Structures are given as structure tokens and as C-alpha cells.
């Protein structure tokens, strides 16, 4: 799944519970700007230090990169501070190396440490109560980023939670894809289509 929409939106539930891993104005796909903060999960509380934008290159003709928030750790190392939407070899909490490719523009060059154990892309079934689904996911320790009201990406930091979340998706998703921390697809469910 590779949406070409250049204006990624964070999911804004009507209920007070935010989508974890994202907040109003998460950086759009393909470019970095100053519009996001992160939301906490039980496993990764929000970091309150300075955040920087970090570009992750993509092999996609219409979307050359995805921009995420990161926390500087020193020595060219950064901790990813929100759930990437299009990439699956990098996740919330992972430690990465990045270099400045232009003044003020950081780009990922390597993943130093994977913290997430699985990532998911999925579309919820029509009629699913999004706020309830997000809250149930959050209780499992799942961090979620949304585009619109039905398309989501999630990172999971515990193997048991990944298995339980997969079962939740089997009940509530039209389709989903599950990825290993290195980006390999582990499972497809429903009508998910992989692009060549």
C-alpha cells in the first residue's frame, strides 16, 4: 500500500483519547515541516525533549520520502518519535543514524537498534468504531498513525501484543499487512495488494 496523497493527517477521534504515536499535524509524507508532536503509549511515553524532522527515503516514484519526528541522542543517532506510515523497516522508538543532507535536512542512513517487533498497515471495515478500536489497540501497547478515518499504520513493541493485535485486525480490518522489523512482509490478510 503506497498512498500518493501528500497530506498525511493524524487521526482525530471525537473522544478525548488520541491515536497513539501521532498528534494533530504529523509531518506529511514526502516533506518535513513544523507541525507535529507525539502521543504516548504504555511502552513508549512521549518524549518531551526537542524533536527534529528526519527524512526516510522510499523506493516509490510518486513519494520519494517519508518524514518523521526524531529525538537527537548525540553522535548522529536519533530515536524515532512517531509511527512511520509508509516504511516498515523503521518504527517508533527505533534508534537510527542520520546525516544532514542539506542545511536543516536530516536523512536516515541506517537503523542501529530496532525497538518495534512488528508493524502493520491496514484499512478498518466500514462501521468499525474507530475510537473504540484505537483505545483497544492502545491498551495492547500499540502505537497508531492514521490517514483519514480508515487507513492506519501501527507499531508494536512486544511479540505477545503483536499476536493479539493481529487477531484484533482479523475481526475489524478489511485487509492488513504485517511486517517484520527489517521490513519483510510476514502476512497479508484480505485484499491487501503489494506493489512490485
The count of other CB atoms within 10 Å of the CB of residue 1 is 16
Contact between residue 37 and residue 26 where contact means Cβ atoms under 8 Å apart: no
Question: Above 60 in pLDDT, residue 196?
Answer: no
What average pLDDT score do residues 11-28 get? 34
Q: Which of 34 and 167 is assigned the larger pLDDT?
A: 167
Out of 59-63, 107-111, 166-170, pick the least confident: 59-63
The mean predicted confidence, pLDDT, of the chain is 79
Question: Above 80 in pLDDT, residue 49?
Answer: no
pLDDT of residue 51: 87
Torsion over CA: 80, 117, 120, 63 (sign): positive
Query: What is the Cα–Cα distance from 8 to 99, expressed in whole angstroms?
Result: 24
* CB contact set of 83 (below 8 Å; sequence gap of 6+): 21, 22, 91, 92, 119, 143, 144, 145, 153, 154, 155
As a residue count, the chain comes to 196
CATH match for 118-190 among 2.30.29, 3.30.70, 3.30.1490, 1.10.260: 3.30.70
The rounded percent of the chain whose pLDDT value lies above 90 is 61
3-state secondary structure of 176: strand
pLDDT tens for each residue of 93-142? 999 999 999 888 899 999 999 999 999 999 999 999 999 999 999 999 99
Q: Helix H segments across 18-158?
A: 130-139
Reported as a pLDDT band with limits 50, 70 and 90, residue 32 is: low
pLDDT of residue 46: 47
Reported as a pLDDT band with limits 50, 70 and 90, residue 61 is: confident
pLDDT of residue 192: 61
Its pTM stands at 0.75
Query: What is the Cα–Cα distance from 175 to 196, expressed in whole angstroms?
Result: 18
pLDDT of residue 193: 56
Amino acid at each position: 500500500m503506497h498512498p500518493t496523497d501528500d497530506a498525511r493527517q493524524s487521526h482525530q477521534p471525537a473522544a478525548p483519547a488520541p491515536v497513539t504515536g501521532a498528534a494533530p499535524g504529523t509531518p506529511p509524507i514526502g516533506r518535513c515541516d513544523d507541525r507535529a508532536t507525539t502521543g504516548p503509549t504504555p511502552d513508549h511515553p512521549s518524549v518531551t525533549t526537542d524533536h527534529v524532522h528526519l527524512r526516510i527515503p522510499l523506493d516509490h516514484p510518486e513519494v520519494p520520502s517519508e518524514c518523521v519526528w526524531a529525538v537527537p541522542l548525540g553522535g548522529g543517532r536519533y530515536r524515532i518519535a512517531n509511527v512511520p506510515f509508509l516504511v516498515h523497516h523503521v518504527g517508533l522508538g527505533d534508534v537510527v543514524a542520520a546525516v544532514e543532507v542539506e542545511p536543516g535536512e536530516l536523512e536516515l542512513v541506517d537503523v542501529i537498534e530496532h525497538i518495534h517487533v512488528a508493524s502493520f498497515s491496514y484499512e478498518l471495515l466500514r462501521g468499525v468504531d474507530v475510537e473504540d478500536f484505537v483505545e483497544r489497540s492502545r491498551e495492547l501497547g500499540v502505537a497508531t498513525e492514521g490517514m483519514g478515518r480508515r487507513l492506519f499504520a501501527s507499531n508494536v513493541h512486544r511479540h505477545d501484543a503483536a499476536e493479539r493485535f493481529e487477531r484484533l485486525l482479523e475481526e475489524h480490518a478489511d485487509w492488513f499487512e504485517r511486517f517484520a522489523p527489517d521490513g519483510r512482509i510476514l502476512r497479508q490478510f484480505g485484499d491487501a495488494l503489494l506493489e512490485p
